[in-house]
Amino acid sequence: MTTPTPKGTGILTAATGSAHARISGIGGYRPRRIVDNHEIATYMDTSDEWIRERTGIVTRHWAGEGESVLEMSQYAARPAMGMAGLSPEDIDLVIVATVSHLYQTPAIATLVATELGITDAAAFDISAACAGYCHGIAMAGDMIRGGSATNALVIGVERLMDVVDKTDRSTGFIFADGAGAAVVSQSDTPGIGPTIWGSDGAQWDVISQRNSWLEVAEDDSLPFPTIGMAGQTVFRWAVWGMAPVARRALEAAGITVDDLDAFIPHQANMRIVDAMIKQLRLPEGISVARDIADTGNTSAASVPLATERMLREGTAPRGGLALQLGFGAGLSYAAQVVVLP
């Protein structure tokens, strides 16, 4: 038998995209209901003092009626598209990062696109927990540079309190709800630095859904599967493991901490933020996201929500350089330096 001659060698057209990509718009949505630590203490044995001291959280937002994952995504996306000066027809890619869209299929991104009037866009969800938004920015930027998209909407959205047990002393006081969004567009100059990312499945169980849907379906004595977290293990990993990741992202971008205008780490715990500032030897005067104090830990939404706030309140400059870093279940992480819109 003779080996067939390959037909395709050299005849395929390869996609070519924009030289660079940048974030052109940011938006955020915080649910109406504000929950203070005194209310948390009605669900579990804790106190306002303990929660403030151990996490820096004073209040957080919990979603209610009219604040579904789909609705919050739209409320965050519209101002992001507005800041970018784009209409729905300009968007050809929608990525939603979430762990609290409670349908196995299809992706909520498809419905978000349709509700926003974005037609026929590539739309899919990614599951990278608290690192999801930074994964989404990496993917959107690379797809725009690779020629498979021109303007992308990246949304980080969570209704975590649907999958967290309010009485659980390891999670009930820390997690919260909200949505943040960014538009990523073509650019003549670099706007998104190289992404440093990774994961460690060996630590899969330190933050995870307690039982699979199948286990729950097969054993009706099992409760609705909420998220469990081995707080101390994750804390240590974040404090010791994430500063080197942040340093590598700076190095890959060709800058040092002195060049930064803002540091926007995942809002997991104020003590983690403070420990990172020390380890990175962040010079004073660089604006640091401290959104957790009144937003709580909103997982995939936390970095875009903190960014939106810093731009709105003027604590980080438009066009400034920000180091953003997401980390969480997986244990997965992603960091990159971005030019703020």
Question: Which CB atom, from 52 or from 78, has the smaller least distance to ligand UT7?
Answer: 52
Catalytic annotation present for 101? no
Euclidean distance between CA atoms 61 and 170, whole angstroms: 18
Contacts of ligand UT7 in 308-337 (CB under 6 A): 328
Which helix (H) or strand (E) segment holds residue 140: the answer is: helix 132-146
Closest contact distance (angstroms) between CB of 66 and ligand UT7 is: 26
CB-based burial, 281-291: b 16+ in 10 Å, e otherwise: ebeeebbbbbb
Closest contact distance (angstroms) between CB of 47 and ligand UT7 is: 6
Structure tokens at 117: 């009037």
54 binds ligand UT7 (CB under 6 A): yes
Size, binding site for ligand UT7 by CB under 6 A? 21
Euclidean distance between CA atoms 19 and 37, whole angstroms: 48
From 22, 104, 33, select the one nearest 67 (Cα to Cα): 33
CB atoms < 10 A from the CB of 86, how many?
18
Name the residue with the smallest CB distance to ligand UT7.
231
169 binds ligand UT7 (CB under 6 A): yes
From 102, 229, 217, select the one nearest 163 (Cα to Cα): 102
Contacts of ligand UT7 in 238-257 (CB under 6 A): 238
151 binds ligand UT7 (CB under 6 A): no
Q: Which is catalytic among the residues 37, 151, 269, 297?
A: 297
Catalytic annotation present for 134? no
Tell me if 201 sits within 8 A of 208, measured CB to CB.
Answer: no
Question: Which CB atom, from 124 or from 235, has the smaller least distance to ligand UT7?
Answer: 235
The number of helices, as runs of H, and strands, as runs of E, in the chain is: 10, 14
Among 130, 300, 301, 338, binds ligand UT7 (CB under 6 A): 130
Residues in a beta bridge with 23: 184
Which helix (H) or strand (E) segment holds residue 165: the answer is: none
Catalytic annotation present for 297? yes
Binding mask 203-222 for ligand UT7 (x = CB under 6 A): ----x---------------
100 binds ligand UT7 (CB under 6 A): no
> Which parts of this chain interact with ligand UT7 (CB under 6 A)?
44, 46, 50, 54-55, 130, 169, 173-174, 207, 231-232, 234-235, 238, 268-269, 272, 297, 299, 328
